[in-house]
Amino acid sequence: MRKLFIFDTTLRDGEQSLGLTLNVKEKLEIGRQLVRLGVDVIEAGFPASSPGDMDSVKTIAREVKGVIICGLSRAVEKDIDCCAQALREADQPRIHTGIAVSPIHMERKLKLTPDQVVQTAVSAVKHAKKYMEDVEFYAEDAFRSEPAFLARVLEQVINAGATVVNIPDTVGYATPWEYGELIAYVMNHVSNIHKAVVSIHCHNDLGMATANSLAGIKAGASQVEGTINGIGERAGNTSLEEVIMSVYTQRERYEIELGVNTQEISATSRLVSRITGVPVPFHKAIVGANAFMHASGIHQDGVLKETSTYEIINPEVIGIPRNTIILSARSGHHALKHRLEELGYFLETDQLEEIYQKFLRLADQKKEVFDEDLHALMGSTGADQNGQISFKKVSVNTSGDAASTSTATITLEILGETQTDAACGIGPVDAVFKAIDRVVKKPVHLEDYTLKSVSRGSEALGDATVKLRYGEKDTVVVGRGISTDIIEASARAYVNALSKIKEFQG
Ligand code: KIV
Ligand code: ZN
């Protein structure tokens, strides 16, 4: 049976779309989790695009092992040189180079003739081959290209040494049957196609990225590209967790081997959402909070009698353990440790003690502590404590009338020194953010602020996300804060975002 190679581009196509830059530490954390998930390829970035990307790809290449580390590059020699340099310390490096092949891109964007495009593509692959064996070629906007021309380009780049050929639906325009036909066309009309792995890369503009990818796999592709939670340019990329679980759930249909550890799907999705600040919609397939909930009476009745009546995936398969014990203020260390391990968190004794104390404080405020609360507690551990700036306390006074003015007093620890200041604002959150600005004295701009509840009930944890824009390059950082007090959650999120700006990095 052929194997389905999973190519993750969360850190490249995913990050590119966020309007923010993840720092190296955050990218490493995602990279390491992707290894636990068992992906075959991590596209770590586009090294020629910025010194920051160069640095991230270099670090991931050096630190993340047991997986192919790939860098993106245009079909331009200096990009390819940059890419090769960034990948120098990777055990299994891959350069992903390419050029657009559709008439509209060639004429309007590149202003090159088809012959010139073929020539540029072949030269790029040959140049990349000077550095390494594994070279993937992408034919950008392949779905809107002339199939005969696409076949000609692919044949020539494979002759030049491309080991993988990527056939993207760059603008998410395909339907499953058309995309499947294009992949079948490539399989049948490119004479040397057996010498390369055929890869598919779909975008979700019409909501069909997963369906198109499955059609591509059915038609003979052996590598699928996508991102965790489907984040990506415009409407996003193919959600890898959706493709993985579609193939897993109907393995007989696809006749393809899947090498991933599905039990890491839920943890990977949560991590990517936490680090990027992009929430997962409740109804999102596979990883949404409601994906395994049964609300209607008829469904609940069916599931209680036989789970498979309404459940096609056992949640345990993606790493969501079934709940057998209820955690409350009466639960001891052992019960908490057991549940955390079921959820994938293995803690040292001192870490467990820290979490246990947080758990007790939370359990005092809530009758039951749910899995979502535990994820939130784990996600908040050390989040605003990087040694350079940390939250200490906040208090707010608000006058009674509607368009009220609030006064906030905030205490932070900055470089080991405790600092307090106060400010007025329109409402409590505005006042808190202004008070923090007065302490920190950095020109930052609040780009976005959201607040949601983590679990159920009025005593649920508040989960705040703050996006700040700062510096000459308009860098955007994301921070998150969690507390049963929504003002404190907001303050923690703001401080957590500040801790990621360069001046406060340890
Ligand atoms: O969508 C696309 O065509 C891409 C390529 C750069 C691979 O992301
Ligand atoms: Zn793309």
Phi and psi dihedrals of 81, rounded to 5?
A: -60, -45
Q: Determine the residue of 53, 166, 223 to mutate for testing ligand 1's pocket, defined as the one with the most ligand atoms within 8 A of the Cβ atom.
A: 166
* pLDDT for the residue numbered 402: 58
With bands split at pLDDT 50, 70 and 90, how would you rate the model's confidence at 192?
very high
CA of 237 to the centre of ligand 2 (A): 7
How confident is the model over 163-182, as pLDDT tens digits? 999 999 999 999 999 999 99
Helix (H) or strand (E) holding 125: helix 114-129
* pLDDT for the residue numbered 178: 98
Does 201 sit in the ligand 1 pocket, CB within 6 Å?
yes
Mean pLDDT of the chain, nearest integer: 92
Residues with CB under 5 A from ligand 2 (ion): 13
Helix (H) or strand (E) holding 437: helix 428-440
DSSP state of 293: -
- For 493, the token pair is 């999120």
Does 170 sit in the ligand 1 pocket, CB within 6 Å?
yes
How confident is the model over 44-87, as pLDDT tens digits? 999 999 999 999 999 999 999 999 999 999 999 999 999 999 99
Whether residue 336 is predicted with pLDDT greater than 80 in this model: the reply is yes
How confident is the model over 70-79, as pLDDT tens digits? 999 999 999 9
* pLDDT for the residue numbered 153: 98
Most confident of 197-211, 383-397, 480-494: 197-211
Q: Which CATH architecture best describes the domain 2-276?
A: Alpha-Beta Barrel (3.20)
* pLDDT for the residue numbered 488: 94
* pLDDT for the residue numbered 322: 76
| Model confidence, pTM | 0.89
* pLDDT for the residue numbered 365: 84
Mean per-residue pLDDT for 301-327? 87
* pLDDT for the residue numbered 185: 98
CA of 180 to the centre of ligand 1 (A): 18
Percent of the chain with pLDDT over 90: 72
Does 138 sit in the ligand 1 pocket, CB within 6 Å?
yes
Whether residue 385 is predicted with pLDDT greater than 60 in this model: the reply is no
* pLDDT for the residue numbered 401: 67
**For residues 86 and 84, what is the distance between their CA atoms, to the nearest angstrom?**
5
Q: Compute the half-sphere exposure of residue 257: CA atoms within 13 Å on the CB side of its CA.
A: 5
**For residues 435 and 448, what is the distance between their CA atoms, to the nearest angstrom?**
18
* pLDDT for the residue numbered 491: 96
* pLDDT for the residue numbered 242: 98
* pLDDT for the residue numbered 400: 67
Closest CA relative to residue 224, chosen from 8, 503, 458, 491: 8
How confident is the model over 265-281, as pLDDT tens digits? 999 999 999 899 898 99
* pLDDT for the residue numbered 380: 65
> For ligand 1, atom 2, which residue shows the shortest CA distance?
170
* pLDDT for the residue numbered 252: 87
Whether residue 148 is predicted with pLDDT greater than 80 in this model: the reply is yes
Amino acid identity at 154:
L
- Three-state secondary structure call for residue 441: coil
How confident is the model over 233-269, as pLDDT tens digits? 999 999 999 999 999 999 889 999 999 999 999 999 9
**For residues 47 and 2, what is the distance between their CA atoms, to the nearest angstrom?**
32
Give 199's strand partners.
166, 223
Q: Compute the half-sphere exposure of residue 233: CA atoms within 13 Å on the CB side of its CA.
A: 13
**For residues 232 and 437, what is the distance between their CA atoms, to the nearest angstrom?**
32
CATH class of the domain at 383-504: alpha beta
Helix (H) or strand (E) holding 274: helix 265-276
Does 136 sit in the ligand 1 pocket, CB within 6 Å?
no
> For ligand 1, atom 1, which residue shows the shortest CA distance?
170
